[in-house]
Structure 1
Amino acid sequence: MNHRKTAEEILQLVGGESNVQSVIHCMTRLRFNLYDNSKADRKSLEQVDGVLGSNISGSQFQLIIGNEVPKVYKEIIANSSLSEAKSGEGESKQKKNVISSIFDVISGVFTPILPAIAGAGMIKGITALLLTMGVLQESSQTYQILTVIGDGAFYFLPILLAISAARKFGSNPYVAAAIGAAILHPTLTAMFAEGGGISFVGLPVTIATYSSTVIPILLAIWIASYVEKWVDRITHASLKLIVVPTVTLLVVVPVTLITVGPLGAIIGNYLSSGMNFMFENAGIVATILLAGTFSLIIITGMHYAFTPVVINSIAVNGFDYIIPAMFLANFGQAGAAFAVALKSKNKKFKSLSFTTALTAVMGVTEPAMYGVNMKLKKPFVAALIGAAIGGVLYGIADVKAYIVAGIVGIPGIPVLIGPEIVFALLGLLLAFVAAAAVTWIMGFEDVLEATEENTIEKASEDTAEETESEKASEVISSPLTGEVRPLAEVSDPTFAQEIMGKGAAIFPTKGEVVSPVDGEVVTLFATKHAIGLKSASGAEVLIHVGVDTVKLNGEHFTAHIASGEQVKKGQKLVSFDMEAIQAAGFDLITPVIITNTAEYEDISSLADGPVGAGQALLDLAAPAATSKEAS
C-alpha cells in the first residue's frame, strides 16, 4: 500500500479537507467528524487501496483500514493543514440522526436473539407441516411437546429481549431478565385473566398481555437503564450489590405495569392494525412496493425495523404480511443470479452464480445480492422487478405468514402454510422465473475471464505469497475472564462481519486483560482500550476492550505494559473499571481478532460460554503445506 496516495485519495473523497472538522484514529479505523457526512463518497472510498470498509456510528464517519491505520493517519496529517491537536478535538457538531439511532438500537437488540427466534420459528413451521400432512395429530403428546418447544421462545420473548436490550443500554442483563419474568409471572397473568380492578399501592394497574410482546419490555428496560445508573451513582460501593437491583426492580416493574406496559401494548397494537389496514385496503400495491423494494431496504439496514412489527403482528393478529414480501425479495435475487449463471461465459463466475442462487433460495441472499447481482447492476434491478411481479399474485391472493420465519427460503416455507399456500408457492416460482427472465432480456456486462498468461502469473504470485506467509499451528489463550460469544453479537460491523479477521468475542466478568501469547506488544493505543500483539509464532492478535470505548480517551483504563515490550502468556496488560465504563453507556463486549487470518488454513473457537483468562480460546490451523512439513 502506498500510504501517501491512500491518504490523499481519502481526503479528497470525504469531501475535501474543508469538510473535515477533526480526524483521529483507533487501532483499526480512521474516525472523521465531518461537517457534512453526505459529501463523503462511500462507494469510491471503499475502492481505495487499503480501505476495507466504511461505517457511520452516530455522527462519526469511520473508515476501516486495519493495521496500517497509523501510517495512513500520519500521511493525512503530514499532507494537509490538519493537525494532531485539531484531530483530537471533540465530537462532530452535526445533529445525531434520530432514525439511525432507533435502527441501531433495534438491530443491536434483535440480532443476538435471532438464533433463538429462528430455531423456534423453524420448529413451529415443521410442526405445522407435519400436522397438515397428517403425520401428527393435535391430541398427540409429541405434537404438544413440539408446540411447547416452538412457542417457548415467543411466549417468553420479553425475557430474551430484556437481556439483549440491557446489554445494548448498558444495564445489568439479569436484573432486566427479572423485570421480564415479573410481567410474565403466572400469578399476574391469572389476575389479568380474572379481570376486575387491579391496583398496586392504590394505583390502578391496566390489564394487558405481555407474552410475545416487544415494545413494552423495550421501554421498560430503557427506563431501567437510567434508574439503575442513577441508583448506582448515589449508592455507597459496599451496598451496591443489594441496593441497586432492589430499587431498580421496585421502581421499574410497577411503572411498567401501571404506565409503560399498557402504553407499549397500545403502540404495538396500533402498529399491527396500521399494517393490516394498509395491506387490506391497498393489498396489491402495498405488496408490490414492499416486495419490490425489500432488497433495497436490506442494503440500508432498515429491515431490522420490521422485526418488532412482524413479531407483534403475529402475536396480536395471528398472521403477517411482511414475511411473504421478504420471501419474494429473496427468490427474486435467486432468480437473477440463476440467469447470470446460465448466461455468463466466465466459468468461475458461472459457478459462483449457481452456488449463490442455490443459497438464496435456501434463505441466505447476501452472496447472490452482493457477490453477483449488485456487482453486475442490471441483475439486481431485475431481481427487484421479479419480486414485484410475484407481489402482484401475493396481493391478489392475500398471502400471509402465520409463524415468524426462522429462514426466509425453502426451509422456511412452512410458515406460509394456510389457505393461500398454493398461491404462496406459485408466487415464489413467479418471482424466481420473472427475475431470471428480466435478467436474460436486459443482459449484463459479463465478468471477463483472466487470460491464461495472467492466470499462471497470478498463480505463481499466490504461491509465492503463500510460501512467505506460512505459519505454524498455534493455540491462542483467552485474554479475559468472562463469557465467550460469537463475533456476530458485536454491534460494530467491523468485527461482526469479520472485516478485520476471524476470532471470538468475550463479555468480561473481570476488568483485567492478560497476554494470550508469548510475544511482543506491537501497539498499545494511547487510549489503552486496544492492544495489538504478535506471538512468537507470528500470530497477530488484536484485543479491543468494548465497543467505541476509544471515546473514553483512556479514562477508566490502566496500562501495565508499553509498545515494543516483550510479554509472557498470562502477563497483565491492561486493567479497566467495568462498572464505570458500563455506567458511561459503553458495551464491554471485547473482540479478540486474529488480524492475519489469511495466513492460516482455519481459525476455530475452542471455548463456548464461561472462560477463564489463560484457557484455550482459538485454534489457529497452519496451512496444509506447513502442517505436512511439521508432521
Structure 2
Amino acid sequence: MDNRQLAEKIVESVGGEENINSLVHCATRLRFKLDDRSKAKKEELQNTEGVITVVENGGQFQVVIGNHVPKVYAEVMKVAKISGETNKESTSTEKVGAASKVFEYISGTFSPLIPALAGAGMIKALLAILTLLHWIDVEGSTYAVLNAASGGIFFFLPIFVGITASLKLGANPYVGGAIGAGLLEPSFTQLLEHGTRSEFLNLPLILTNYSSTVFPLLIAIVVYALLEKWLRKVTPGVLQLFFPPMISLLIMVPLTALVFGPFAVYVSDGIMNGVSYLSSVSAILTGVIIAGAWPFLVILGVHWGVVPIMISAFTKGGDVIGPITAASTFAQIGVAFGVFLRARDKNLKSLTLGATISGVLAGVTEPIIYGVIMRYRRLIPIMVIAGVVGGAIVAMFDVRVFTFVFNSVLTIPAYTPLVKYALGIGVAFIAGTILSYLFGYENKKTEKETKPEQTEKAAPVSSTTDKNMTVYNPIEGSLLSLSDVPDPVFSSGAMGKGVGIEPTIGRAVAPFDGTVTMIFPTSHAIGLTSDDGVEVLIHIGLDTVQLEGKHFTAHVKDGQAIKKGDVLVEFDIAGIKDAGYKLTTPVIVTNTANYLDVIADEPQEVVGGQPVLTVIS
C-alpha cells in the first residue's frame, strides 16, 4: 500500500482521529499519545504491511515505520486533520509514571529537531572529509560559511529547544524560543568578559556560556508553561496580546539565568563527570555497560532521553557516549548482514539486505532490531556480545564526537581519533557478522509445525519421563499469551518464553520444587531454579520497581529451598493499581535456550497448582 493508504490504516487502528491527542515522529517511529489506548488495535497494526512493529512505552503508542516515516507522518497528519503536535486537550485517565513523563517530554522536544540536527551533523562530517583530504582551506571564507551551516543549530540550540519544548507542553512556542534567545543575547553574553560572577537586583548571578546547552531550557519551559497558563487565565481579554508574553519574559529570562541555568549546567556536568569518572576507573567497563544497554533503550523507545547529555558534552571536551553506542549500531548491522549471508529464504534475505543497507548508510537500526533480532531471539546475545566488544575498544581509545550524527559509514570522519573509532565499529560489525553466520538463528517454522498432540503429550514433573518438566501456575488470575504482555522486553521473548498473568489474588507461590536464586530488594520480582535446572522469573507487575517495595511483602529469601505451593510474595492489588501501575505479571523461563522448546498453555482463567508451561528438553 502507498503512504496515504498506510496512514489511513494507522489512524483507523489507533482508534480514529478522535482518539489521537498528539503525534510526533523521530527517525523511524510515529509516536502517538492516545486518549484511550484500549481502543487501539495493536495486533492488527503489527500485521499491517509497512509497519515494522508497535511499541507501547512512556505513555506513547509508538508505531515503528522505518526510514520513510516523515512521509507517512505527513499523510497521517492530513488524514487525522492534525494541524500541530497537540490535537486537543487530553481526556486520557491513564496514569503515567514520572520517569515516563520525563522521557516523553524529552523525546517530544527533540523529535521535531532530528532532521535539522542530523542534516547539520552530516555537513560537519563532510567538512571533516574535505579537511582530511586538504580540499578546503580551514581559514577561508568557504569553510566559514559551511561551518556556519553545520554549527548554527547547535550554537542556537536553546532557542530551538525553547520552541519545541513549548509546543510539547502547549505553551506559546515563540515566547519559549525568546527565553532561549535571551541567554544568547550579546549584552548578556558580554558579562562573561568580566568573570563568571555578577548580580541581578542584588542577587548573585552565576554566568556561563549557554550556547549549545539543552537542560536549562528543558527545565525553564516546564515552569514557563505553567506560568503562561495561569497568566492567560487571569489576564483580561483586552491585554491578552502582550501581557502574558511580557510577564513571562520578564520573569523567566532572569529566573533561568539565576536558578535554572546554573542548576541545569551543574546537573549536566555532574552526569558527564560521572561518565568520565567511570571511564577513568575502567574505560572497558564503561564501553561494555553503554554498548550493552543501548539496544534495549532503543527497543523501549527511550534512547532519545540520552541525547541532551550527548549534546551538552559537545562544547566540553566532546561526547564519549555517542561513539560507544555506534559500536552497538554496527554490531546490529553485522548481525543483519550475517543472517543475509546465511539465509536461504528469499523474503528473509530481502529483509536483511534492506535492513543492512539502511543501517550502513543512515545509521537506523530499528528495522534490524524489530524485523530480525527480536524475531530470532538467538541473535540477541550475539548482538550484545559484538556490541560490548566494539564498545570496549572505542571506550579504551577515548573516541569522541563534537556534533550530532547518526552512526553510519558516512559519518565516520566526524569521530576522533578516526582510525581507532573505525577499528572499534569494524570489530563490532565483523563479530556480529561472523557470530550470526556461524551460530545462525532458530527456524521459526519449528514452532508452527509442532503438532497439537505433541503439546498434549507434554508430561508433568511427576511423570516417569525425564524429557519434560512442568511449571505450575504461581498466581491465580487470567492467563495471557506472552505476546499480549504490554512490555516489549517480555512480549518479544527477549528474556525467554513464558506466559503473562493478570492476578486476581495478591499472592505468588512456588511453581515447582527448587530454590530461590534471586529476590529483588523491592520484592516485585523473584528468580527461581527448579530441582531439574529450569530457571523462572516471576515479575509482578510492570514498572513496579518504582514502588520501591511498597505494597509487596516477601516470605522467602535468596538461597532458600522451596516446595511447590510455598508462598513467595504477597502483594496489594488495589494499592498497586491505585498507584498507577499495571499488574500484568510475566512468568518467564529465562534459560529457554537450554531446551528444545517451552510450550505455553492456552489463555484462560487459572487457579493455583494448574500447569501453565511445559519445558521440553
Distance 1:384 1:111 in 2: 27
- Once the 2 structures are TM-superposed, how far is the Cα of residue 401 of structure 1 from its aligned partner? 2.5
Distance 2:114 2:200 in 1: 35
Distance 1:313 1:441 in 2: 39
- Once the 2 structures are TM-superposed, how far is the Cα of residue 445 of structure 1 from its aligned partner? 2.9
CA contact 2:171–2:225 (8 Å) conserved in 1: yes
Is 1:432 matched up with 2:429? yes
CA contact 2:166–2:225 (8 Å) conserved in 1: yes
- Once the 2 structures are TM-superposed, how far is the Cα of residue 138 of structure 1 from its aligned partner? 2.2
Q: Name the structure 1 match of 2:109.
A: 109
- Once the 2 structures are TM-superposed, how far is the Cα of residue 133 of structure 1 from its aligned partner? 2.1
Note the alpha carbon deviations across 1:364-409, whole angstroms, 9 max, x for none: 21222222222222234322221112123223322x2222232211
CA contact 1:292–1:386 (8 Å) conserved in 2: no
Q: How does 1:173-212 map to 2 (within 5 A)?
A: 173-195=173-195, 198-212=198-212
Q: Name the structure 2 match of 1:343.
A: 342
Q: Name the structure 2 match of 1:292.
A: 292
Q: 1:346 to 1:415 in 2, by over 3 A?
A: same
Distance 1:61 1:120 in 2: 29
Paired residue secondary structure (1:241): coil
Distance 1:57 1:334 in 2: 25
Which residue type is aligned with residue 91 of structure 1? T
Which residue type is aligned with residue 438 of structure 1? L
Q: How does 1:220-619 map to 2 (within 5 A)?
A: 220-317=220-317, 319-362=318-361, 363-398=363-398, 400-416=399-415, 418=416, 420-446=417-443
- Once the 2 structures are TM-superposed, how far is the Cα of residue 290 of structure 1 from its aligned partner? 1.5
Note the alpha carbon deviations across 1:33-88, whole angstroms, 9 max, x for none: 89xxxxxxx998977999x9766577799999xxxxxxxxxxxxxxxxxxxxxxxx
Identical pairs, percent: 31
TM-score of the aligned structures, taking structure 1 as reference length: 0.57
Distance 2:192 2:124 in 1: 27
Distance 1:54 1:428 in 2: 29
Q: 1:349 to 1:290 in 2, by over 3 A?
A: same
CA contact 1:33–1:59 (8 Å) conserved in 2: no
Distance 2:368 2:390 in 1: 19
Distance 1:231 1:57 in 2: 33
CA contact 2:332–2:369 (8 Å) conserved in 1: yes
Distance 2:307 2:357 in 1: 25
Q: 1:351 to 1:147 in 2, by over 3 A?
A: same
Q: 1:136 to 1:30 in 2, by over 3 A?
A: closer
Distance 1:63 1:435 in 2: 27
Q: Name the structure 1 match of 2:492.
A: none
Distance 1:352 1:264 in 2: 44
Q: 1:395 to 1:24 in 2, by over 3 A?
A: closer
Distance 1:241 1:443 in 2: 65
CA contact 1:311–1:404 (8 Å) conserved in 2: yes
Q: 1:248 to 1:336 in 2, by over 3 A?
A: same
TM-score of the aligned structures, taking structure 2 as reference length: 0.58
Distance 1:377 1:124 in 2: 37
Q: 1:133 to 1:24 in 2, by over 3 A?
A: closer
Q: Name the structure 2 match of 1:140.
A: 140
Note the alpha carbon deviations across 1:127-147, whole angstroms, 9 max, x for none: 122222222222111112222
Is 1:170 matched up with 2:175? no
RMSD: 3.2
Give structure 2 stretches of 5+ with no counterpart: 1-14, 21-33, 65-90, 447-617
Distance 2:379 2:247 in 1: 57
Paired residue secondary structure (2:401): coil
Q: 1:49 to 1:219 in 2, by over 3 A?
A: closer
Q: 1:251 to 1:90 in 2, by over 3 A?
A: closer
Which residue type is aligned with residue 330 of structure 2? F
Distance 1:246 1:44 in 2: 49
CA contact 1:32–1:62 (8 Å) conserved in 2: no
- Once the 2 structures are TM-superposed, how far is the Cα of residue 197 of structure 1 from its aligned partner? 5.4
Distance 1:355 1:273 in 2: 39
Distance 1:204 1:232 in 2: 31
- Once the 2 structures are TM-superposed, how far is the Cα of residue 228 of structure 1 from its aligned partner? 0.9
Distance 1:252 1:437 in 2: 55
Distance 1:211 1:173 in 2: 19
CA contact 2:359–2:365 (8 Å) conserved in 1: yes
Q: Name the structure 2 match of 1:585.
A: none
- Once the 2 structures are TM-superposed, how far is the Cα of residue 120 of structure 1 from its aligned partner? 1.3
Paired residue secondary structure (1:198): strand
Distance 1:401 1:196 in 2: 27
Distance 2:58 2:432 in 1: 37
Paired residue secondary structure (2:316): helix
Is 1:91 matched up with 2:93? yes
- Once the 2 structures are TM-superposed, how far is the Cα of residue 107 of structure 1 from its aligned partner? 0.3
Paired residue secondary structure (2:165): helix
CA contact 1:330–1:361 (8 Å) conserved in 2: no
Q: 1:32 to 1:121 in 2, by over 3 A?
A: closer
Note the alpha carbon deviations across 1:177-214, whole angstroms, 9 max, x for none: 11111110011111122227533333232211111111
Q: 1:130 to 1:62 in 2, by over 3 A?
A: closer
Which residue type is aligned with residue 167 of structure 1? L
Note the alpha carbon deviations across 1:562-607, whole angstroms, 9 max, x for none: xxxxxxxxxxxxxxxxxxxxxxxxxxxxxxxxxxxxxxxxxxxxxx
Q: How many residues align?
A: 390
Q: 1:199 to 1:60 in 2, by over 3 A?
A: closer
Distance 2:251 2:264 in 1: 17
